Amino acid sequence: MPAANLDKLFHDTLRDVYYAERKILQALKKNIRAAQSAELKQAFETHREETEGQIERLQQVFETIGKRAQGKTCAAMDGIIEEAEEIMEEYKDSAALDAGLLAAAQAIEHYEITRYGTLAAWARQLGNAEGERLLRETLAEEERTDKILTDLAEATINAAAEQKAA
């Protein structure tokens, strides 16, 4: 068993986020079908396309450490996605569905932001400049997506859920 050090922690966390991104890709396809708002569907579609690129970038990060890209079950992401599926079921055909889907998507974004920020800092600490660059590129995309979702929630989605329910 390898010594428990930052190299191992970096690799384990990289495996965690690789698993998470692949699960997110599957979940986004469901979210696109479930969303009622055209704007939310488009935001999910854009993020789906970005997620494909993020998975490729993660594969490149694995290469920088000489490891095969392989996921490790991420219970946190499984739980967030399970909650999103519960929202889809419970609020199906409800005006609040999009607000719930958007909130679940932001929970995913916030998880990703913490993971990518941490991984980028560790890559820097470990002297992996290429890994850090790739991880920071993905971090910037995740932060942009979170901002887009926040703006969408505040501009239309939350108000539409409230108005239709009244």
> pTM (2 decimals)?
0.90
**Domain positions in the chain:** 6-165
* 92-133 pLDDT tens trace: 888 899 999 999 999 999 999 999 999 999 999 999 999 999
Fold of 6-165: Ferritin (1.20.1260)
Six token digits for residue 63? 């290469």
Amino acid making up residue 3: A
* 80-91 pLDDT tens trace: 999 999 999 999
Cα distance between residue 154 and residue 131, in whole Å: 35
**Cα atoms in the 13 Å half-sphere on the side-chain side of 120:** 16
